[in-house]
Amino acid sequence: MHIRSADLVAWLRTRVTATGAEGLIVPLTDTLQAAVVARLCQLAVPDAVLGAWLPAGADDRARARTLGEQLQLPIVDADCPSAAALADELGAQVEKMRRRREPLSEAVSAPGMLSTRVRMAAVHFIADSLNYLIAGTLDHTDLTLGAFTRYGESEVDLLPLGNAFRSEVIALALDLELPPGVTERLPVAHGAGISHQDLERYQTDGPDGVAPAVALRIERLMRESERKRAPAELPDE
């Protein structure tokens, strides 16, 4: 493992001190990444860490609640039931525009993206109110393949796992000695259907390190997600 938990803990503590923040808030999902980030934050600033529930699904929500209890992490509910109603209302307005104009490209994931963005806006409200920094849970695989919602879970202050491959996330989980059962029970969030082993081989050995079909898919996903990672564009001077 190239990334040491002690280094990440020290980095988190330094960022809290440097920014004058009073603590850290973790958008809590039912993944191993969330458990690792929450534990790192607890070690960095004990008694000044908050978890924010994000999942809307009942099963995911229950697992996230269980994770918070196992980590003894105070939890605030950042779910926004009104987001679904807002998506329906806006969807109806968009459909009217579709009828008036040439056919628009279908945005089948728009309601889900809106819900994610609204919930993250709630997390930002809580963080601003408490003067906390938001520690996101995306890792290197998520960022590389675009396995996130733009202006959603990527809109955070800190990404402690942003340089960590999946294998390193798993190693960190073992090193941090999470509560019994957490490492085995929680899924490692997938990266758009590409195994973390293939992605790591591709990024260390190049396209020749994986099967040609896998290399093509990784490259396609990276191209398609470029817009997610790019900052807002400015006109040329």
- 202: amino acid identity, one letter: Y
Checking if the pLDDT of 102 tops 80, the result is no
Whether residue 116 contacts residue 152, with contact meaning beta carbons closer than 8 Å, is answered with: yes
Q: What's the pLDDT tens digit per position in 27-81?
A: 988 788 999 999 999 999 999 999 998 766 667 777 777 888 889 999 888 766 6
**The pLDDT of residue 76:** 87
Pairs from 210-219 (Cβ < 8 Å, separation ≥ 24): 217/193, 218/145, 218/194
Tokens of 172: 């960190």
Helix-strand-coil percent breakdown of the chain, rounded to 5?
A: 55, 10, 35
Residue 165 φ/ψ, nearest 5 degrees: -70, 165
3-class secondary-structure state, position 229: helix
Say how far apart CA 66 and CA 68 lie, in whole Å.
Answer: 5
Could you tell me how far CA 200 lies from the centroid of its own chain? Answer: 19
- Which band of pLDDT confidence, cut at 50, 70 and 90, is reported for residue 228? confident
Spell out the SS3 assignment of 188-220: CCCECCECHHHHHHHHHHCHHHCCHHHHHHHHH
Contacts of range 224-231, beta carbons closer than 8 Å, 24 or more positions apart = 224/146, 225/145, 225/146, 226/146, 227/150, 228/146, 228/148, 228/150, 228/154, 229/143, 229/146
State residue 221's pLDDT score.
86
Q: Which CATH number fits domain 5-191: 3.40.50.620, 3.50.50.100, 3.30.360.10, 3.30.450.270?
A: 3.40.50.620
Structure confidence at residue 4 (pLDDT): 92
Q: What is the pLDDT of residue 131?
A: 97
Determine the Cα–Cα distance for residues 219 and 119; give it in Å rounded to an integer. 30
The pair phi, psi for residue 3, each rounded to 5°, is -100, 125
Q: In a 3-state reduction of DSSP, which class is residue 97?
A: helix
Confidence class for position 109, pLDDT limits 50, 70, 90: low
Confidence (pLDDT) at 203:
84
pLDDT for 13 beyond 60 = yes
Per the model's pLDDT, the better-predicted residue between 107 and 156 turns out to be 156
Domain boundaries, given as residue ranges, for the chain: 5-191
Question: Per-residue pLDDT tens for 167-215?
Answer: 899 899 989 988 877 776 655 545 566 777 888 889 888 999 999 988 9
Q: Which pLDDT value is given to residue 188?
A: 57
In the predicted model, is pLDDT for residue 158 greater than 70? yes
Q: What is the mean pLDDT of residues 227-234?
A: 84
Give the residue with greater pLDDT, 154 vs 90: 154
For 214, residues 6+ apart whose C-beta sits below 8 A from its C-beta are 194, 198, 202
Q: What pLDDT was estimated at residue 196?
A: 78
% of the chain with per-residue pLDDT over 70: 79
Helix axis angle, 166-175 relative to 5-19, nearest 10°? Answer: 90
pLDDT in tens, 116-149: 888 888 899 899 999 999 999 999 888 888 888 8
pTM for the model stands at: 0.83
User: Which pLDDT score is estimated for 167?
Assistant: 87
